[in-house]
């Protein structure tokens, strides 16, 4: 008699547990639900089309709560680095005055921006740059004294070659050196032109730039 009641209780408990498991969706099902929501909830507006929701490898790998495994991150970085377009004529630096204007400019690429207008660099949104500008963000590291701190006294000299290339790489495609970087891939995504990136390079590396002034 006791056994029967105990068995019944066990059976009911088991059934309840199974029912609970059955109603909780799997992580894959939740992923699919999220994808379906993206499709049904968004529409195109202005220059912002729905293809912006199609992720590439780097975006997909970096969309988790946790960063991707080391080997995945290294693979992404290598692939991104391979796609960097270096300046054809070997000229890396432009005009720092234009670079500062770009750094201050946060416009471009939104659905309220008109087609065909060049974008800004958005730099001050996330970074400190010149000493004079106190309205700067802290999402990215401070770039104040960028060239000076790296010992760049002559950006054209062979001694500065590595830093110059590294900096160009960062601006063109930040994920080439940091797979899940918060920084947009300005050259790679066509946000900024090579000429604009040259001007930002000057802002960062030209000894005469206010970023490097003492």
Partner 1 sequence: MMRGPFAALVAALLASALASPFALAQTSAADGIAQYRALLADGNPAELWEAKGELLWKQPRGTNKLSFEKSCDLGKGIGVVKGAFVELPRYFSDTQRVQDLESRLLSCMQTQGFNAAEIAATPFGRGEQVNIEALVAYISAESKGMKFKVSQAHAEERKMFEAGKRLFYFRGGPYDFACASCHGEPGKRIRLQDLPDLTHNPGDGVGFAAWPAYRVSSGELWSMQRRLNDCYRQQRFPFPGYASDATIALSTFMAVQGQGAVSIAPAIKR
User: Does 23 sit near partner 1 (CB under 8 A)?
Assistant: yes
The footprint of partner 1 on this chain (CB under 8 A) covers a number of residues equal to: 51
- Count of Cβ atoms closer than 10 Å to residue 52 Cβ: 12
Draw the binding track, 64-93, toward partner 1 (x: CB under 8 A; -: no contact).
xx----------------------------
- Count of Cβ atoms closer than 10 Å to residue 39 Cβ: 10
Of the residues 38, 69, 91, 156, which one makes contact with partner 1 according to CB under 8 A:
38
- Count of Cβ atoms closer than 10 Å to residue 44 Cβ: 11
Structural element, H or E, at residue 21: helix 2-23
Max CA pair span of the chain: 94
Distance CA 190, CA 151 (A): 30
Tell me how far, at minimum, the Cβ of 137 lies from partner 1, in Å.
Answer: 5
User: Does 26 sit near partner 1 (CB under 8 A)?
Assistant: no
User: Does 135 sit near partner 1 (CB under 8 A)?
Assistant: yes
Distance CA 36, CA 53 (A): 12
- Can you tell me which residue has the tokens 């899940």? 180
Of the residues 92, 96, 136, 146, which one makes contact with partner 1 according to CB under 8 A:
136
Draw the binding track, 180-199, toward partner 1 (x: CB under 8 A; -: no contact).
--x-xx---xxx--------
Of the residues 5, 28, 112, 214, which one makes contact with partner 1 according to CB under 8 A:
112
- Count of Cβ atoms closer than 10 Å to residue 14 Cβ: 10
User: Does 120 sit near partner 1 (CB under 8 A)?
Assistant: no
Cβ partners under 8 Å of residue 149, min gap 6: none
- The footprint of partner 1 (CB under 8 A) covers 23-25, 30-31, 33-34, 37-38, 40-45, 48-50, 52-55, 58-60, 62-65, 109-112, 124-126, 131, 134-139, 144, 175, 182, 184-185, 189-191
């Amino acid at each position: 008699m006791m056994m029967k009641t105990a068995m019944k209780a066990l059976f009911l408990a088991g059934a309840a547990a199974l029912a609970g498991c059955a109603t909780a969706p799997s992580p894959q099902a939740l992923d699919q639900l999220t994808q379906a929501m993206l499709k049904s909830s968004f529409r195109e507006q202005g220059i912002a089309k729905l293809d912006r929701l199609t992720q590439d490898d780097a975006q997909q790998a970096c969309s988790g709560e946790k960063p991707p495994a080391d080997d995945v991150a290294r693979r992404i970085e290598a692939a991104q680095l391979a796609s960097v377009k270096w300046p054809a004529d070997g000229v890396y630096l432009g005009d720092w005055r234009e670079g500062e204007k770009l750094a201050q400019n946060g416009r471009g690429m939104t659905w309220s921006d008109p087609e065909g207008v060049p974008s800004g660099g958005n730099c001050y949104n996330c970074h400190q740059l010149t000493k004079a500008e106190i309205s700067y963000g802290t999402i990215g590291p401070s770039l104040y004294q960028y060239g000076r701190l790296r010992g760049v006294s002559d950006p054209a000299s062979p001694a500065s070659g590595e830093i110059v290339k590294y900096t160009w790489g960062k601006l063109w495609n930040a994920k080439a050196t940091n797979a899940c970087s918060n920084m947009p891939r300005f050259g790679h995504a066509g946000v900024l032109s090579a000429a604009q990136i040259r001007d930002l390079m000057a802002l960062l590396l030209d000894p005469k730039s206010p970023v490097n002034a003492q």
